[in-house]
Amino acid sequence: MPKITFIGAGSLGFTRKLVRDILTFPRLQDATISLMDIDPERLDFARRAVERIVELGNYPARVEATLDRAEALDGADYVMVTILAGGVDIWRHDIEIPKKYGVDTNIGDTRGPSGIFRALRTIPVMLEIARDMERYCPHATMLNYTNPMAMLCRALQRETRIQLTGLCHSVQGTAAMLARWIGAPMEEITYTCAGINHMAWYLRYEWNGQDAYPLIRKAVTERPEVYNEEIVRNEMFLALDYYVTESSGHNSEYNWWFRKRPDLIEKYCTHGTGWNPGEYAYVVKRYQEREQTWREEAKKWFAAETPIDLQRGHEYAAYIVNALEGGEPFQFNGNVANKGLVTNLPEDACVEVPVWASRNGLEAVRVGPLPPQCAMLTNLSAQIEEMAVEGALTGNPRLVYQAIAHDPLTAAVLSLAEIRQMVNEMFEQNRDYLPQFKHFKV
């Protein structure tokens, strides 16, 4: 009877879908599902939603909900984390301040100045959760879904003793996209993917044991609809010969090539990146409206006779928990400490590599070196993240500035003096959310 705890359980869709998937496994159907959130109203919705799933499936699971994190973690076997340190009124400045200086970010939750400041706000909260795990459930496994994935996992791997890995949808999502492009059934595809979160590379991508990269290149170069679906990533593939995980929107921020001039943004980033230039104000408005309308969505969900399909989905965490409980072993790409796994990335940095989950625990797979043309960009981002995490943990604003000064997009647009001014402004805006810093000037 495992106890599975959700920290940040008030997520409108994630908790419902993951609980549904968990309870489809016979080994997990009598689990205790413990829900914790800081928002009482959202927590109540999550509790009622999970109870509805238990009722519809006639499962023997037990559901509990609490505002007390210690109570939720006490005796837990697995801890799912989906939190956001501050609402849209806070994180909007991660995008808007750099934009004022000319750093035109697309999504801004992973790296670059926007992702680094999100990490500065979130790392202290994640460390509190991990410290509570050390106290109340020291043998539990954390499965983290919160961004910025690599920096958060790195901080926890460095500072705590808990077993954890970070989960992202980009590896399996991109693998399925490539299979669709070449007309291959996903069950006939095998691959090896490694790097860092959102910048991992398919070192091997095969269809029935045969190299499928020639088919991918043919699709990208000969079918305009395929090229236009992911312009940024397709350009990177044509130049670097390996396909990168995560969307063009994210990857347009992670390098020097696509967002440093308005004409390049128009050419490469206006389509196929998710959020178009000039749309950020709309996105902020949409998030604000969602905060106001989620109650109506919740009412509609409960009003439906069968509000959720009880068939198992593809959420990795459910398969991982089942494997750790002694079910079928499961391989996934997870975010773990680099203990010789990727030999040309920094030792101990957070890398995303194949991981096996089984009764033996989580066992990462050694991949070896990345191709040099992929390692160069990936290494820079990994080292920037190392510097940013060091700054976050030590409260050193100068390290934060130096990390952002090396960010490829920022450096392509701004001088060092302009970067310093931007970072100072971002520190001032976030002053109330950075308890680890005594000084806010660089």
Map out the domains of the chain with their CATH numbers: 3-166 (3.40.50.720)
DSSP code of residue 237: H
* Sign of the four-CA dihedral 327, 331, 337, 339: positive
Which segments are annotated as binding site for substrate?
A: 147
Nearest to 365 by CA among 354, 379, 376: 354
DSSP H/E element including 223: none
Asked if residue 129 lies in contact with residue 37, where contact means CB atoms within 8 angstroms, the answer is no
The amino acid occupying position 289 is E
Q: CB-hemisphere CA count at 13 Å for 163?
A: 16
**pLDDT the model gives residue 379:** 98
Mean pLDDT of the chain: 93
**pLDDT the model gives residue 298:** 75
> Which tens digits make up the pLDDT trace of 274-283?
555 455 555 6
> Which tens digits make up the pLDDT trace of 321-355?
999 999 999 999 999 999 999 999 999 999 999 99
**Rg of the chain on CA atoms, in Å:** 22
**pLDDT the model gives residue 277:** 47
- Count other Cβ atoms within 10 Å, centred on residue 229: 17
- Round to whole Å and give the CA distance between 338 and 182: 33
- Two tokens at 142? 């954390």
Q: Mapping DSSP to helix (H, G, I), strand (E, B) and coil, where does residue 371 land?
A: coil
Task: Detail the DSSP E strand segments found in 328-401.
Answer: 330-337, 350-358, 361-364
**pLDDT the model gives residue 51:** 95
Asked if residue 129 lies in contact with residue 81, where contact means CB atoms within 8 angstroms, the answer is yes
Across 3-17, average pLDDT:
90
Residues 6+ apart with CB under 8 A from 411: 256, 405, 419
> Which tens digits make up the pLDDT trace of 213-250?
999 999 999 999 999 999 999 999 999 999 999 999 99
Asked if residue 329 lies in contact with residue 362, where contact means CB atoms within 8 angstroms, the answer is no
Which segments are annotated as binding site for Mn(2+)?
A: 168, 198
Q: Measure the N-to-C terminal CA separation of the chain; round to a whole number of Å.
A: 51
**Among 3-7, 141-145, 239-243, 312-316, the least confident range:** 312-316
Q: Which residues are catalytic?
A: 169
Q: Mapping DSSP to helix (H, G, I), strand (E, B) and coil, where does residue 128 land?
A: helix
Asked if residue 118 lies in contact with residue 55, where contact means CB atoms within 8 angstroms, the answer is no
Nearest to 195 by CA among 29, 360, 381: 381
In this predicted structure, the answer to whether residue 290 has a pLDDT above a threshold of 70 is no
Nearest to 257 by CA among 268, 243, 270, 242: 268
User: Could you tell me the pLDDT band of residue 315, with boundaries at 50, 70 and 90?
Assistant: confident
> Which tens digits make up the pLDDT trace of 187-200?
999 999 999 999 99
- Count other Cβ atoms within 10 Å, centred on residue 209: 8
DSSP H/E element including 50: helix 40-57
Distance of CA 363 to the CA centre of its chain: 20
**pLDDT the model gives residue 89:** 84
The answer to whether the peptide bond before residue 148 is cis (omega within 30 degrees of 0) is: yes
Could you tell me which residues are beta bridge partners of residue 80?
A: 6, 143
- Two tokens at 255? 């390098």
User: Could you tell me the pLDDT band of residue 289, with boundaries at 50, 70 and 90?
Assistant: low
Q: What Å distances lie between residue 296 and 43, 44, 300, 303, CA to CA?
A: 16, 14, 6, 11
pTM: 0.95
Q: Which residues of 307-324 are buried (b: 16+ CB within 10 A; e: fewer)?
A: ebeeeeeebbbbbbbbbb
- Round to whole Å and give the CA distance between 320 and 304: 30
DSSP-assigned states of every residue in 297-328: HHHHHHHSSS-S--S----HHHHHHHHHTTSS
Across 83-91, average pLDDT:
85
Q: Mapping DSSP to helix (H, G, I), strand (E, B) and coil, where does residue 334 land?
A: strand
